[in-house]
A and B are shown apart, each in its own frame.
Chain A
Amino acid sequence: MGEVIVITSGKGGVGKTTATANIGAGLAMRGYKVALVDADIGLRNLDVVLGLENRIVYDLVDVAHGHCRLKQALIKDKRFEGLYLLPAAQTKDKTAVKPEQMKEICLQLKEEFDFVIIDCPAGIEQGFRNAIAGAEKAIVITTPEVSAVRDADRVIGLLEAAELREPKLVVNRLRPRMVRQGDMMTIEDIIDILAVDLLGVIPEDEQIIVTTNRGDTVVLMDRSRSGEAFRNITRRILGEPVPLMELERDGHFFARLRRIMGLG
């Protein structure tokens, strides 16, 4: 039986789809069977980010309504043996699927795959409720901005109310230089408010934009800093104790972060 993880944020554009693609690819790279579910119905993106758009025949809504079997809708990735995508519908809206149907689809996927990773839409309405319905664990993404952190806090509250306890946090687009200059929230500031475990920190990195536009992932790139950050996150998901890399720390707060990670 696999594990169903939803990647969510509240605020839009903070990196949910990027993280879904890279964590999924990272796990597949390690030999696991992974299904990525694009729950952002009407604004599908994950297929484009993975470069699989031209292979879509059926989608999540077709599966939910019984227009096709789950297997028919799953698209095999170009690079990774064990990586599959269940694409979102582009021509329907978020009410086209019900939480019960999502639960059922996740249950089926879990039997086949080691990990089922759900790319949640922005917001806290129906699309969010659908995306979390079948999930057992949650990863919350934020950027080091007050508004993104506020939305992450709201989402953590809603996840807890839905019995998705102890979500893990990923901070995306950190700019160490701005943090040092005091112009950006520190990791410590963020953890201080959200009070959840830190799963990893991804730096701001042009390579993410370059790879995303090519339908590729950074997690494959040996020399990329963001790629290394995603590889570390993958390993932590697999239960390996990986210390935070240089850019994931901000200086004197390292000691505290080690404690949060349970390593100190």
Chain B
Amino acid sequence: MALEPGQITVGSRVIKPEDDQTVLVERTLRSGQSVFYAGNVVILGDVNPGAQVTATGDVIVVGSLRGTVHAGAGGNEKAMVVAFRFEPTQLRIASHIARPPEGMISTGQPEVARIKDGLVTIEAYLATGERQAGGAKVTRKLAGARIENGG
């Protein structure tokens, strides 16, 4: 889908973004509903199984992520996906496609997915950024997270 900067559709409705960088979606996306946005997307709600979010930038879900998210849809390898409860059906970042291992359940903590060493990697999201507070760093790798070149 060709995205104009600042353009957003929720389902079949075209919604005017708050600004041309980040859009707030103040609702839960249910099965069959989708959001496309050229920029970052913040969902204040859940992304249910069967729902889809596509953004050229980051995607942040302030709720449960159980549907499909594509961050960095234009090819941005630095894009990330953050969710308070991380149980996506499928995850895409730039041209990488990953699916969680069978039966993966959420840690119940906010987690972040991004590309590290060519793999989509999920880890605990620390509000302090990259600094680790002395403890062990827990990293979970997603199955099928190989680079899909040009895919």
Decide if B11 touches A153 in the complex (CB within 8 Å): no
Decide if B66 touches A154 in the complex (CB within 8 Å): no
Cβ contacts A143-176/B at 8 Å (1 or 0 each): 0000000110110111011000000000000000
How many inter-chain residue pairs (CB < 8 Å) link A and B? 28
Cβ contacts B42-54/A at 8 Å (1 or 0 each): 0000101110000
Which of B29-37, B93-101, B112-120, B129-137 forms part of the interface with chain A? Answer: B29-37
> A-side interface residues toward B, CB under 8 Å?
150-151, 153-154, 156-158, 160-161, 192-193, 195
Which residues of B have CB within 8 Å of A161?
11
A156-B30, A157-B32 are known contacts. Are A150 and B11 too (CB-CB below 8 A)?
A: no
Interface size on B, residues (CB 8 A): 12
Given contacts A160-B30, A193-B66, 8 further A-B contacts (CB under 8 A): A150-B49, A150-B50, A153-B48, A153-B50, A154-B32, A156-B30, A192-B64, A193-B46
Give the CA-CA distance A195 to B66 in the complex, in Å.
14
Give the CA-CA distance A156 to B29 in the complex, in Å.
11
Which residues of B have CB within 8 Å of A158?
32
Give the CA-CA distance A154 to B48 in the complex, in Å.
10
B28 part of interface (Cβ distance < 8 Å):
yes
A157-B33, A161-B11 are known contacts. Are A195 and B28 too (CB-CB below 8 A)?
A: yes
Decide if B28 touches A154 in the complex (CB within 8 Å): no
Give the CA-CA distance A161 to B28 in the complex, in Å.
12
Which residues of A have CB within 8 Å of B66?
193
Decide if A195 touches B46 in the complex (CB within 8 Å): yes
